[in-house]
Amino acid sequence: MIHCGSRTRPVLTGAKHTGRQLVLFRQGAGRTVAEALRRAAGIRLAVSSDLDGATSRTDLALGEGLLFERVGAALIHGDPDQARALVRRADPRALIIEPERYVRASGAVQPLSDAALPLRDTAFETWGLKATRALSSRYSGRGIRVAILDTGFDLGHPDFAGRGIASRSFVAELPVDDVNGHGTFCAGVACGPEQPRDAPRYGIASAAELHVARVLDDEASGTDGNVLAGIDWAVGHNCAVISISLGSPVYLGDGYPEVYEHVAARALAAGSLLIAPAGNESQRPDSIAPVEHPANCPSVVAVGAVGPSLEVAPFSNGGLNPNGGEVSLVAPGIAIVSAAPRPDLYQTGSGTSMATPFVAGVAALLAEARPAARGAALRKLLLETFRGLAAPVRDVGVGLVQAPQ
């Protein structure tokens, strides 16, 4: 159960904070919030839907803010105590104020090992597609909008030639073009083509409509404000699936961030399902770390990773914290092949970041198969489409995600 009010929020001790504040308003507060804050608090609050161009600013000066109108949240740059007092005075509809956190990508690209693997890539498909039964699915995600919130995308990648791709950068002074490669990788797994130019098939929803929101910089780092801006944009573009391969670590006993939980719940109500990685802080079997932020929100699907033997990946976090901190399900996350920015075109990677877009792609297939299933209904359908695994629910949730046939 979510409790709202003016009480002090617990600090997520595993997270690093930016010094700015996230504010949640009651549903429907809308543009009246911006004007009220200008009058009563002197906070210059821009509205995200008014921002034009390929890049939208979240680099706020002191006394500035940005309202994410579609999800009823805002980012404010000010002294925490002063900001809290000013916001309460300006608009009593403010429900929750929390510190903004830094986030980073939950995985890294790396060379593919030559070790023998129980499930191998073939000339036709990667082992991940085989494990999820994606290649035999009759669905392709046609007509379904999938948003990838990450380091951007190589818009000129030849495997995506002719695909209409909507894009926006929410990182100051950086275009959508992906330098790091993490975003191109995740977009490739979720929405890669049926017939790549020079690689086995690596993508799930080959006909989905790709929406790219750049929320991480060239080092794959960012902030909550960037991510909320991307979610707000994706919801506004009616994306049925929003894949967010990033996070921030939490400690045992930490609660989930209520601003994010409300935003995720509002996104679900608007028909958008948020999917995020469980995190890579574990060193199994010696230590298991809790599911990270924002995957630890009850309304966000939390994805763990498995390897080619369908064993839990040694780095994959576990469901140690209750009330949202559980793993929802798992997907392939070791030695995964996908797209890379030019000139390389292809790369391999391991992490729960790599597992997350598998789930996003399957969700797009399910959304095509069941046109009425959106938001919470799509989440329910996704968590009913799995293969059971011989591992604790703590580590794999319901099991391994499976594509509809």
| Positions marked active-site | 150, 182, 353
Q: Rounded CA gap, 122 and 393, in Å? A: 31
Q: What DSSP string runs through 261-315?
A: HHHHHHHHHTT-EEEEE--S--BTTTB-PBPPBTTTSTTSEEEEEE-TTSPBPTT
Query: Residue 108's beta-bridge partner residues?
Result: 350
- Sign of the Cα torsion 119, 120, 125, 126 reads positive
Bridge-based pairing of strands 94-105 and 246-247 is antiparallel
- Residue 73's CB is within 10 A of a number of other CB atoms, namely 28
Structure tokens at 369: 């198969």
Query: Residue 149's beta-bridge partner residues?
Result: 213, 244
Structure tokens at 323: 């009330």
Q: Rounded CA gap, 335 and 345, in Å? A: 16
Place of tokens 């926006």: 168
CB 320 within 8 Å of CB 299? no
CB 158 within 8 Å of CB 345? yes
Q: Rounded CA gap, 83 and 87, in Å? A: 6
Among 270, 272, 328, 329, residue whose Cα is nearest residue 298? 328
